[in-house]
Structure 1
Amino acid sequence: MAHFDLALEAEWKVLDGDQVVAQGTTRGSLGEMAWSDSFMDRYLGEFTGEASKKYVVEVKFIKDGTPLKDLNPRLVVRMADSWN
């Protein structure tokens, strides 16, 4: 397998008040990715929550993403049902 430098690494956690209910990292992992002529996605993680409950998502980017700046990167948080 060829080695290449990952352009994005992040740690994330989901909080319910002060309690961490889910967390993860992309450090050292390719994870799931998708791309086309007009976009590139990097999947950071998932968690199962309760309907109508509010959560806080914290993402800490642990690698300098400056090489991506010209691509106008965005962080998108979606509910699983909104993917269909």
Structure 2
Amino acid sequence: MAHRKKSTARRPSATEPTRTKANPLTAEGIEHVDWKDVALLRTFVSDRGKIRSRRVTGLTVQQQRRVATAVKNARDMALLPYTSAYPTPPR
């Protein structure tokens, strides 16, 4: 039987305080996310056009849902791209 290599990743212990990411919407005092506010929505979309996760953005569950809906509405109205502007590589 092969030996398993121990993980070298550091896990926080139960006594360590966890660091929470600052919520960008509450920091700016934004209560309603509008699909027409493209500058705000671009902060939650990667350069490839993907919606960033809650772990990355620091939003609450409800805020993340509202941002995702607003990004999708902005995409439908052609304010945000569905994908990045990079062409697909030739085969």
TM-score, length-normalised on structure 1?
A: 0.24
- The answer to which structure has the higher helix fraction is 2
> Greater relative contact order: 1 or 2 (C-alpha under 8 angstroms, separation 6 or more)?
1
- The answer to which structure has the higher strand fraction is 1
